[in-house]
Structure 1
Amino acid sequence: MQTKSMNFVVDVDDIGKRIDVYLAEMIDNMSRSQIQKIINNGNVTVNDKVVKNNYKLKEDDEIVLNLPEPVTLKVEPENIPIEIMYEDDDIVVVNKPQGMVVHPAPGNYSGTLVNALLYHCKNLSSINGVIRPGIVHRIDKDTSGVLVVAKNDLAHRSLAEQIKEHSVNRIYLAITEGVIKEDGGTINRPIARHPVDRKKMAIVEGGREAITHFRVLERFKENTYIECKLETGRTHQIRVHMSSIGHPLVGDPVYGYKKQKYKLQGQALHATTLGFIHPTKKQYMEFTATPPSYFLELLEKLRNNSK
């Protein structure tokens, strides 16, 4: 990897300063936390010796900071089959399969919905940059269902504003652990990043407002088939909310039971309906996708076991 070196010599005014503070002052557009990461990675030397963030500067110290050249990100179009439910010059609506990641991320730049869409559409909105072109909202890798993608910036802004205003109609189908006694209800509990496990979300006081409305569609011996309507769209919202009331989703590897009775490839959750105002036609449009075969087969199995 190529690096760019920056050299500094400490003068009398900066004697006694911490090196991370000094470098943050000397380098534009770089925060102290970014500087600290660079120092922790061994990319800063003083008089040819690697130092720590709390090193106190001395007069005439010679500092060398080696900055790795940024990697140019490029997401390649890939000929991956996808189910397109609707398409025009502004939007494309797809039924995302379970197991497909929506957009590339570090370490996973291929096989995503974005790779497939770039092959099919050529043009997607640029608002979310190279990695997430056109992506206005997301659903988890192991959640299937309806997703709308913007093909230009005007469409992107319109859809993003509707999501912000909570005017998009988003309905999910899910199968939970345990039998829910109530016919329905509303879960209004704030969600934020888990304070200890940063890969998880959690109910956190002072987190972002999160509201899920649910109603029971069918009860089984040990499980419940429900419909969830999102008022807000936080990361893992339905999964966290249902787990918080003691009814995690069947197959959920993160928020569900440790011992899973049914060997699924992820949570039993499907984004079945998506409704919004078209960005340019200004008409309400609604799309509905039937749950995938694994979901329907599980429902049938639960019905048979409940007889």
Structure 2
Amino acid sequence: MRKITIESNDSQQTLIKFLNKYLNKAPNSLLYKWIRKKKIKVNKKRVESNYKLKEGDILYLYIYDEELEKWIVDNKPFKSLIDVDIAFENSDVMIMDKDQNTLVHAADKSDYGKNLVDFMIDLMISNEEYIPRLETSFRPAIVNRLDRNTRGLVIGAKNRETLLNLNQEQDKISKFYLAIVHGKIDRKIEIQNELEKDDNNQVHVVKSGKKSKTIIRPLKYNDEYSLVEVELLTGRTHQIRVSLSDIGHPILGDRRYGIEDRDKRYKDQQLIAYKLQFSKNISVSSLRGKVIKSKYEKYIYNLYENLVGEVNG
């Protein structure tokens, strides 16, 4: 017999959903059979498969350990192969400041241990903030995504409640970027368009696409280049890169949506997710009113000044 105490990260989900994650190789037919035959109980009472678990509930599995182990895939923790700066951290979130050429999630097996999700989980395990065998149905996760070659701030949620709240309240997190673009932008621009992604992950401006809204504010500019602050009011794939290119001001170094045969020394887009501003009434109380900035803000200002010096020199 095995006894499992439900912690906060495993609460507020149905019994069958929890079992799907805990006994992750077991077919549903077997799980339903065990529930029906009272081999699985909650607080020593028979419950239905759709029973919603509460924190503090005790799950009793009247099944031999040898049988249970057959239906559990052992997900062993591994050491992260990358090092990432942390811009802000508390018991709810880890806000990481990622560099270019760093993945947020693993795209294939070769990326395991070399992405932000694995880095966060490895660090939390080493700090004993996350113990996979005790929290079998929750895994720390990312709230916002960045392209591989975009620098800046990525929010990692440390617990299930924070993850759910932040995902539901994206409108209470203001996201600001800095970009160096080709050409002169000397006024505030509000871009409203419709974007659609094709099978090659290329995004196009089309009337039938998803609505997007982007605000561009000039910070520094000359006839050749502009340094702009970009505020995202929606979160579409490649939204900033496509929208700036569509108005004739592609981002410096953008190989997909930029200008061919120019600035080849910049292999990647000069775009930084540099500031996060949390609303004063966001559900996660530890984040209310907080403003977090990226260390890469200084980098892009310096890069712009060097470009201007080259043009004027």
Q: Answer whether TM exceeds 0.5 for this pair.
A: yes
Give the alignment partner of residue 196 of structure 2, picking from 188, 192, 206.
Answer: 192
Question: Relative to total residues, which structure has the larger helix share, 1 or 2?
Answer: 2
Q: Which runs of 5+ in 2 are unaligned?
A: 1-72
> Whole-Å Cα distance in 1 between the matches of residues 297 and 230 of structure 2?
17
Report the TM-score, using the length of structure 1 for normalisation.
0.68
> Whole-Å Cα distance in 1 between the matches of residues 131 and 91 of structure 2?
10
* 2:217 maps to amino acid: R
CA contact (8 A) 2:277 2:290 kept: yes
CA contact (8 A) 1:91 1:151 kept: yes
> 1:262-298, CA deviations, whole angstroms, 9 ceiling, x for partnerless residues?
5123100001101223614362211011326763442
> Whole-Å Cα distance in 2 between the matches of residues 260 and 218 of structure 1?
21
Give the alignment partner of residue 104 of structure 1, picking from 84, 99, 106.
Answer: 106
Report the TM-score, using the length of structure 2 for normalisation.
0.66
Give the alignment partner of residue 143 of structure 1, picking from 147, 150, 160.
Answer: 150
> 1:69-94, CA deviations, whole angstroms, 9 ceiling, x for partnerless residues?
xx998884415221112212211111
Counterpart in the other structure of 1:159: 166
Return closer, same or farther for 1:282/1:98 CA change in 2, 3 Å cut-off.
closer
CA contact (8 A) 1:118 1:124 kept: no
* 1:302 maps to amino acid: L
Return closer, same or farther for 1:124/1:244 CA change in 2, 3 Å cut-off.
farther
Within a 5 Å distance, the mapping from 1:236-247 to structure 2 comes to: 236-247=238-249
**Aligned length in residues:** 231
Counterpart in the other structure of 1:214: 216
* 1:192 maps to amino acid: E
> Whole-Å Cα distance in 1 between the matches of residues 187 and 75 of structure 2?
49
Counterpart in the other structure of 1:304: 309
Counterpart in the other structure of 2:294: 289
> Whole-Å Cα distance in 2 between the matches of residues 205 and 198 of structure 1?
19
> Whole-Å Cα distance in 2 between the matches of residues 174 and 127 of structure 1?
41
Within a 5 Å distance, the mapping from 1:1-307 to structure 2 comes to: 76-107=78-109, 108-122=111-125, 123=130, 133-163=140-170, 166-180=171-185, 182-194=186-198, 198-276=200-278, 277=282, 279-281=284-286, 283-291=288-296, 295-307=300-312
Return closer, same or farther for 1:215/1:293 CA change in 2, 3 Å cut-off.
closer
Q: Which runs of 5+ in 1 are unaligned?
A: 1-70
Return closer, same or farther for 1:208/1:117 CA change in 2, 3 Å cut-off.
same
CA contact (8 A) 1:248 1:256 kept: yes
> Whole-Å Cα distance in 2 between the matches of residues 128 and 267 of structure 1?
37
Identity of aligned residues (%): 30
* 1:109 maps to amino acid: Y
Q: Which runs of 4+ in 1 moved over 6 A?
A: 71-75, 124-130
* 1:161 maps to amino acid: Q
Return closer, same or farther for 1:74/1:235 CA change in 2, 3 Å cut-off.
farther
| Structure 1 residue 127, shift from structure 2 partner | 12
> 1:73-119, CA deviations, whole angstroms, 9 ceiling, x for partnerless residues?
88844152211122122111111112111111235334111121122
* 2:230 maps to amino acid: C
> Whole-Å Cα distance in 2 between the matches of residues 217 and 156 of structure 1?
34
* 1:154 maps to amino acid: E
* 1:249 maps to amino acid: I
Return closer, same or farther for 1:100/1:162 CA change in 2, 3 Å cut-off.
same
* 1:258 maps to amino acid: E
| Structure 1 residue 177, shift from structure 2 partner | 1.3
CA contact (8 A) 1:92 1:148 kept: yes
CA contact (8 A) 1:278 1:285 kept: no
| Structure 1 residue 191, shift from structure 2 partner | 1.3
Counterpart in the other structure of 2:29: none
